[in-house]
Amino acid sequence: MKLLPPNAREWGFTHDDISHLETISRERADYLSQHDAKGKHLSRVVNEYSHLKAGFCDFTAPAVKIGSRDEIDDNLRSKLRESLLSMSPWRKGPFEVFGIDIDCEWRSDLKWDRVIGHLKPLNKRHILDIGSSNGYYMFRMLEHNPAMVMGIDPYTNFYYQFMMLNSIADVKNIFTLPLKFEDTATLTKKFNTIFCMGILYHRKSPIEFLSQIKKMLSAKGELVLETLIIEGDSHTALVPDERYAKMPNVYFIPTVPVLFTWLKSAGFRSDVLMYLLQLSKSSVRPNGLTRKPWRTFSIRLTTVKQLKGILHRYGRLLSRSFRIIVKHQKYPASQ
Ligand SMILES: C[S@@+](CC[C@H](N)C(=O)[O-])C[C@H]1O[C@@H](n2cnc3c(N)ncnc32)[C@H](O)[C@@H]1O
């Protein structure tokens, strides 16, 4: 089975692009499905349900709906629920699959609602979502009729979650490759909109990363950049020595002036939509939530107590930086 859709040529990918992406994605997918313990399990789950196709999908509501409840019987629903559970952790969501609520860690619809109203219309656009996770935002984009959406995410669970969801939804103009952003560097001027959300602070070389994105954008393309910042007018960036808000691999968190400098150095003059986040207690998730079955994984954001510890450690610099929104909301009970 090909990993790129058969009509990729119609979306502006050259023969060489397709051959390169297909080769490296195939290598990675084969490695995962044949040699990686987790990948073997996840690919088996996806294959087991390859015959199951949804008659009804709805990508317009906060919960992405794939299949309606009355399309399958309770026995199959119960088996499918166990299989989906075995694909945890489910970070981005919510999803509802044949009436099964996938109780994800994040209410990603809140982020989507904050961003979507500000974008250039996605109609007929060629879109790249860097770090697309299980594809939640890619499914939400469909409401706006893009020509195509390509996601990239190297993390095994997220890749197979997308493969599972889209095997059932069977949408032909979205696809995810199990690749790192670095692997796609040859795709110059291919995308009208590039989403880069929750990624920049994980990059060791942010200017190089932004320059690469610039090269991949078409002439009038738009970058949707959502990232963490610290408050202040100075030309400084925070360089956490270990974790930041419990997240590992956070390298630079800039002030807004620094971010503008990075963007200018990368060649951007306009067409960058920025959604800037600061850290606050409102984003803290109570520990008790992790006890539910869909959340058999560690929480990523800090508890109030831990946040106080960080504030104490970093003193005034961090105490002035607060992330907005992402309040915890009560999830529907899982079924
Ligand atoms: C903080 S999450 C953000 C997810 C999503 N974009 C969002 O805004 O909710 C970072 C994502 O980037 C992915 N990722 C990590 N390294 C990557 C790389 N080198 N290239 C592309 N994606 C990467 C992770 O697996 C994860 O899904």
Model pTM? 0.85
Identify the residue whose C-alpha is closest to ligand 1 atom 23: 131
Please work out whether the CB of residue 114 comes within 6 Å of at least one atom of ligand 1.
no
Question: Ligand 1 mean position to 196 CA, how many Å?
Answer: 9
pLDDT for res 278: 59
- Structural domain boundaries enclosing 256: 8-277
Please give the number of the atom of ligand 1 that sits closest to the Cα of 195.
6
Secondary structure (DSSP) of 18-62: HHHHHHHHHHHHHHHHHH-HHHHHHHHHHHHTTT---S-EE-SSS
Domain membership of residue 81 (yes or no) is: yes
Cα atoms in the Cβ-side hemisphere of radius 13 Å centred on 17: 18
Contact 244, 90 (CB under 8 A): no
Domain membership of residue 150 (yes or no) is: yes
Which of the listed residues 92, 95, 133 should we mutate to test ligand 1's pocket, taking the one with most ligand atoms within 8 A of CB? 133
Question: Ligand 1 mean position to 75 CA, how many Å?
Answer: 35
DSSP H helices in 49-133: 74-85, 108-116
Please work out whether the CB of residue 151 comes within 6 Å of at least one atom of ligand 1.
no
Please work out whether the CB of residue 197 comes within 6 Å of at least one atom of ligand 1.
yes
Q: pLDDT truncated to tens, each residue of the chain (335 aa)?
A: 789 999 999 999 999 999 999 999 999 999 999 999 999 999 999 999 999 999 999 999 999 999 999 999 999 999 999 999 999 999 999 999 999 999 898 889 988 988 888 888 999 999 999 999 999 999 999 999 999 999 999 999 999 999 999 999 999 999 999 999 999 999 999 999 999 999 999 999 999 999 999 999 998 888 888 888 887 778 899 998 878 877 889 999 998 888 888 988 998 876 676 666 655 443 434 333 333 454 433 223 334 444 444 444 443 333 333 222 222 222 233 22
CA angle in degrees (0–180, nearest 5) for 150-94-306: 100
Within 10 A of 281 (CB to CB), how many other CB atoms are there? 13
Looking up residue 60, the CATH number of its domain turns out to be 3.40.50.150
Domain membership of residue 73 (yes or no) is: yes
Counting the structural domains of the chain, the total is 1
pLDDT for res 229: 83
Domain membership of residue 329 (yes or no) is: no
Domain membership of residue 184 (yes or no) is: yes
Query: Is residue 238 classed exposed, middle or buried when 0-12, 13-18 and 19+ CB atoms within 10 A define those classes?
Result: buried
Question: Ligand 1 mean position to 162 CA, how many Å?
Answer: 13
Please work out whether the CB of residue 154 comes within 6 Å of at least one atom of ligand 1.
yes
pLDDT for res 114: 81
Q: Which residues pair with 238 in a beta bridge?
A: 253
Cα separation of 143 and 148, whole Å? 12
Domain membership of residue 98 (yes or no) is: yes
Strands 57-58 and 64-66: antiparallel
Question: Ligand 1 mean position to 180 CA, how many Å?
Answer: 9
Please work out whether the CB of residue 109 comes within 6 Å of at least one atom of ligand 1.
no
Please give the number of the atom of ligand 1 that sits closest to the Cα of 129.
6
Domain membership of residue 300 (yes or no) is: no
Which of the listed residues 153, 273, 301 should we mutate to test ligand 1's pocket, taking the one with most ligand atoms within 8 A of CB? 153
Domain membership of residue 252 (yes or no) is: yes
